[in-house]
Amino acid sequence: MDAESFYARIASALGGPSPALHLPPALKVAAVTATATERRAWAHLASERLRSVGGSAECVSRSQLAARVQELVGASPTVRVADALLPAEVLSVLGQATACTAVDAHTWREACAAATWGVTDADAWIAETGSVLLCAQRDRPRATSLLPRHHLVIVPLERVIPSLEGALNALVDTPSQWLLVTGPSRTSDIENDLTIGVHGPAVLHVLVVDEETA
């Protein structure tokens, strides 16, 4: 049964007229093509946007990646997404990290709550806002980016996108849930005092991997 028929059936059962239904257009499957120079410019803009809301970002070469991750994470309690989602170079320096595919759900949530760092990839990094787009899935559970005090995102340069619209249009499979992370978690619910890290990580750091950087 399509959506129009479904809503018409509900309206009929309630004794009312069938409502006019205006469905949003389906997401298009369209790759965002750009040169490396354009993507570096987008990454620079995304870095500025992210810093303006309290996050941080840097660009590293593939050869520098593992060493930089080691400097950031060190021996801290760490959780990470599945092996296939992270560059092979960083797996060896995340040997102490708990992988989401290695434990049951209850143990995983406990590990995330106790972790200093949560390490994820990203489906896109959006230049216009500095937001990281994460599509929640089985090998990338939400808890990885929500429960640890620090969130480290490792994203290749080719996933830097100029706009949210472009990021959504580039998705091949529409996920059941998207997470847009724009800087550290913050709230001013309590007497309008800004507090960092209440509903999520207090630190968001993005590592952009540029294959062509020496």
d(CA 201, CA 199): 7
Distance between CA atoms of residues 34 and 109, nearest Å: 39
Residue type, 131: S
What pLDDT does 17 receive?
57
Q: What pLDDT does 61 receive?
A: 95
- What pLDDT is recorded for position 188? 45
Contacts of residue 176, Cβ cutoff 8 Å, sequence gap at least 6: 136
144 touches 99 (CB < 8 A):
no
- pTM for the full predicted model: 0.78
How much is the pLDDT for 5?
64
Per-residue model confidence (pLDDT) at position 25: 37
Give the CATH fold of the 32-210 domain.
Rossmann fold (3.40.50)
Q: What is the pLDDT of residue 181?
A: 87
Which of 70, 77, 74 is CA-nearest to residue 116?
Answer: 77
Q: Tell me what pLDDT residue 7 has.
A: 54
Beginning with the edge strand found earlier in the chain, give each strand of the sheet holding 56-61 in spatial order: 56-61, 203-210, 150-156, 117-120, 78-80, 98-99
**pLDDT for res 159:** 92
Rounded CA-CA distance 108/115 in Å is 10
Which segments in the chain show pLDDT lower than 50? 18-30, 185-186, 188-189, 192-197, 199
pLDDT in tens, 76-109: 999 999 999 999 999 999 989 999 999 999 999 9
